[in-house]
Amino acid sequence: MPTPEQSAQRYEHYELVTGEDEKPIELGRGAMGVTFKVVDVNLRCPVTLKVISERYLGDESARLRFLREAFGRQWDSVQEFFARWEANSERDFAGVFNKYYNLQEFEELFRGHFRDFLLGQIDQEASQKLLNRKVRRWKSSPFRGLNVFDFEHARIFHGRTRAIGRVLEALEAQVRAQRPFVLVVGASGSGKSSLVRAGVLPLLTQPETIEGVGLWRWAVTRPGAGGSGGHCFDALAAALLEPSALPALQDPESQNAVRDLGSELREHSDSVALRVRDALDHAAREWKIQRCHSLEEKERQLRSSGRSDEADVARRQRERFELPKVRLALVDRPVGRIVHNWFFAGGAPEVCLCA
């Protein structure tokens, strides 16, 4: 329990800073409230805390005005911070800030700036160093002919940045509306499958592309895969049993895993949805165990080579490690009934779909 004195000096994780006269330091006083200097004990840095006057507490329009003014002040501080940073960038920082509104603009800005950066490096006679660096080269032909571009072709898939951005934005909005489904429509051969498989999926499955989601599994439906003989439920079953998806869904007793899961999907898709949820929880736990093991190993190696500060960082990382939120992405050739049961009837909110 905090003593009355302590609780008077502290509000949630803000601690009042007192002056020489032991009184809280006031930074300003207005009609609506008083602004104090406080320390954010989590961030360990001074911040300002504005306390609204009691008489405005029940007044909704005053409360909204207060929030608007606070937001305006924060916005001004952010702008000032960046202006100061940019002004100093010649001297102190190598970075500047650029605004972009979509993925395509980001790509164009990045391409231009990165080219300038490389030219700068070459001017500084670092060219030899750059040339000696290991580059991951694409060994086979980058021309896919009539074949689709798949997840593993992401590095040679180009020219669809704007469409990728639009699909990701649409999916994000759909996730927020708890309807995590996006349909990509176009003529046969217009590049829908390539767009979602080689463009959207490799970005989507990075942690935090969809806010809060730290781990992804993904199932790409391929007609005729795994002996599915062209049946759509069997093709979906084969995709779900792939290593990138949830091979744990396989019934160990089953003689023909694809066909059995295919019939279960056809007849009891709700029960498969429950098993998908369990398998995703299991995948998240497994992933956490693996990450903790590798951090433990890293810590051990750092300690044995006398780098105890870095070892402490690895230990703290491991101790703070939380179970990631995990999602399954179903991609390409949706099966109508599964789309209805899992995405619109609320059967499996852990699944996102693009097709």
Ligand X SMILES: Nc1ncnc2c1ncn2[C@@H]1O[C@H](COP(=O)(O)OP(=O)(O)O)[C@@H](O)[C@H]1O
Question: Measured between alpha carbons, how far is 90 from 115 in angstroms, rounded to an integer?
Answer: 19
Q: In the numeric block, which tokens belong to residue 167?
A: 């699909």
If one asks whether residue 221 binds ligand X (CB under 6 A), the answer comes out as no
Work out how close the CB of 331 gets to ligand X at its nearest, in angstroms, rounded to a whole number: 11
Work out how close the CB of 165 gets to Mg ion at its nearest, in angstroms, rounded to a whole number: 20
Enclosing H/E stretch for 325:
strand 325-331
Nearer to ligand X, 42 or 188 (CB): 188
If one asks whether residue 140 binds ligand X (CB under 6 A), the answer comes out as no
Q: In the numeric block, which tokens belong to residue 188?
A: 């046969």
Nearer to ligand X, 265 or 355 (CB): 355
Residue 160 binding partner per list Mg ion, ligand X, none, with a CB distance cut-off of 5 to 8 Å that depends on partner kind: ligand X
If one asks whether residue 148 binds ligand X (CB under 6 A), the answer comes out as yes
Which listed residue (50, 144, 315, 325) binds ligand X by CB under 6 A? 144
Nearer to Mg ion, 178 or 188 (CB): 188
What character string, x for contact with Mg ion (CB under 5 A) and - otherwise, covers 170-209?
-----------------------x----------------
Residue 121 binding partner per list Mg ion, ligand X, none, with a CB distance cut-off of 5 to 8 Å that depends on partner kind: none
Q: Are 108 and 159 in contact, with CB atoms under 8 Å apart?
A: no
The residue range among 93-101, 157-165, 206-214, 241-249 that interacts with ligand X, by the rule CB under 6 A, is 157-165
Which listed residue (188, 230, 319, 320) binds ligand X by CB under 6 A? 188
Work out how close the CB of 155 gets to ligand X at its nearest, in angstroms, rounded to a whole number: 13
Residue 269 binding partner per list ligand X, Mg ion, none, with a CB distance cut-off of 5 to 8 Å that depends on partner kind: none
List Cα–Cα distances, 272 to 225, 237, 249, in angstroms: 20, 10, 9
Nearer to Mg ion, 213 or 353 (CB): 353
DSSP string, 38-104: EEETTTTEEEEEEEE-GGGTT-HHHHHHHHHHHHHHHHHHHHHHHHHHHHHTTTT-S------SSHH
Which residues are registered as beta bridge partners of 352?
Answer: 329
Q: Are 238 and 228 in contact, with CB atoms under 8 Å apart?
A: yes
Coil, strand or helix at 26? strand
The residue range among 48-56, 181-189, 251-259, 314-322 that interacts with ligand X, by the rule CB under 6 A, is 181-189
Residue 159 binding partner per list ligand X, Mg ion, none, with a CB distance cut-off of 5 to 8 Å that depends on partner kind: ligand X
Q: Are 329 and 355 in contact, with CB atoms under 8 Å apart?
A: no
Mark 146-171 as b/e (b = at least 16 C-beta within 10 Å): eebbbbebeeebeebbebbbbbbeeb
Q: In the numeric block, which tokens belong to residue 62?
A: 């005053």
Which listed residue (2, 95, 159, 306) binds ligand X by CB under 6 A? 159
Residue 42 binding partner per list ligand X, Mg ion, none, with a CB distance cut-off of 5 to 8 Å that depends on partner kind: none
# chain residues binding Mg ion, by CB under 5 A: 1
Residue 186 binding partner per list ligand X, Mg ion, none, with a CB distance cut-off of 5 to 8 Å that depends on partner kind: ligand X
Where helices occur in 124-160 by DSSP H, the ranges are: 127-132
Binding site for ligand X (CB under 6 A): 144, 146-149, 157, 159-160, 186, 188-194
